A and B are shown apart, each in its own frame.
Chain A
């Protein structure tokens, strides 16, 4: 792997080696059905005989306890939060994702850094600063952008885990209650995602459709990616 396969300098002190697996990212708003699709994809890929590893934000062994605790307090500043999440991301990339890809696992990533910078930018971070920060990031083989409109997201949130402080962006003080704040905050995030879709070449998936339909769509788009692997062998 050459450094050009990173967005920036990557990890110059350590050669990445040959990556045999594919890095498949699912991006999109809260409540758009990412984790549901990841679970379905994992089961499907494993039934096809592929080894799969999955990852998602805040799952790093190094930062999870500290970051979870920080989010409960009220002293976590916007910029500090960006950097804490970047630490989480770097730890998972270096210690989980890249080793798994090297071992031939396909990695399903529930969000990547795009979500993090979307949230940072909505909170006032400098977009250039945020993008340079993720110069360490490996370019995924494919990024699916599950795009849902606000009514779809609301339906799923209510059917699922309900509204919460962070997913409603309550720290931004956009509105007084979780519902109004959710609508405003998620609309701003969708704007960011739409911009990035072009910039980073996301494959946009209409996630307002029923779950099985979205799943079939994803499968159809992932298959050729895996077959190109086999034809090389």
Chain B
């Protein structure tokens, strides 16, 4: 169990396997919220500068074991948490995260790491105010990934697990294991399931509806570039949009 978010800001995260469409959805959500005059901070999985060179080394030299992979990604998350996410939440910002601790709970356990051990690693991270899980069948995800890029990467395909010598087969088996972990977490953590096979626009409409509910009555930090909502009536909508674009 993760502790509830006791900070002023709102934490909204997306989860799902590769090719589930979650990044597209959170990107649209991000732009929409900014347009609404909200202060938003976006954080992406595995993006800390501090850990980058080590991750690169481990991947290129295939040095990772399931445990070191898990620990290094937790280090990456912790660095983003301590330097960005936590201060932003305290300041009253909406933090959007493309992947969160649940990615580790799904992937690392699919790699054979102990379930409770990895949950302890992330126990400093609060439960998001909204955790969206984009569920897609493995076939659709595989098709999306393979049509979009030339090559599957070694760890992405779960080649380190030795499930198959064929990258596509290995990817499919690995993703299937991850899906099972995600599915089990829907109840464990109360993830909100979004049908990732629905049209993009329809999914986004659904997402915005849910987010609107979460933000109802909540006063966060305003964007200094935009007039506060209450006073907006006196400001032309067109002008405020232009200001946002700058």
Q: Which A residues have a C-beta under 8 Å from some C-beta of B?
A: 8-9, 11-14, 61-63, 65-67, 69-70, 73, 75-80, 82-84, 86-87, 90-91, 94-95, 129, 132-133, 135-136
Contact = CB atoms under 8 A, between A and B. Distances in A.
Given A79-B78, A94-B68, A8 B117 contact: yes
Interface of B: 50-51, 53-54, 57-58, 63-68, 71-72, 74-75, 78-79, 81-83, 111-114, 116-117, 120-121, 123-124
Contact of B53 (A13, A65, A91): A65
Contacts of B53: 65-66, 69
A129 B68 CA distance: 18
B121 A83 contact: yes
Chain A interface, DSSP helix/strand/loop, else mixed: helix
Nearest to B116: A9
Contacts of B72: 62-63, 87
Contacts of B51: 66, 84
Contacts, number: 97
A77 B83 contact: yes
Contacts of B74: 83
B78 A133 contact: no
Contact of A83 (B78, B112, B113): B78
B75 A87 contact: yes
Given A65-B53, A66-B51, A75-B50, A95 B75 contact: no
A226 B88 CA distance: 56
B121 to A, nearest CB: 7
A68 to B, nearest CB: 11
Contacts of A70: 50
Contacts of A65: 53-54, 57
Contacts of B117: 8-9, 132, 135-136
30 contacts: A9-B114, A14-B65, A62-B58, A62-B64, A63-B54, A63-B72, A65-B53, A67-B54, A73-B50, A75-B50, A75-B79, A75-B83, A77-B82, A80-B78, A80-B79, A80-B82, A83-B71, A83-B74, A83-B75, A84-B75, A86-B71, A87-B71, A90-B68, A91-B63, A91-B68, A94-B65, A94-B68, A95-B63, A135-B114, A136-B67
Contacts of B54: 62-63, 65-67, 87
Contacts of A78: 82
Contacts of A94: 65, 67-68
A150 to B, nearest CB: 31
Contacts of A9: 114, 116-117
Given A66-B57, A87-B72, A79 B82 contact: yes
B59 to A, nearest CB: 11
Given A66-B53, A90-B65, A129 B78 contact: no
A8 B83 contact: no
A62 B57 contact: yes
A61 to B, nearest CB: 7
A161 B120 CA distance: 37
Nearest to A3: B114
A109 B50 CA distance: 27
Contacts of B82: 77-80
Contacts of A63: 54, 72
A73 B65 CA distance: 27
Nearest to A79: B78
Contacts of B65: 11, 14, 90-91, 94-95
A9 B116 CA distance: 9
Nearest to B51: A66
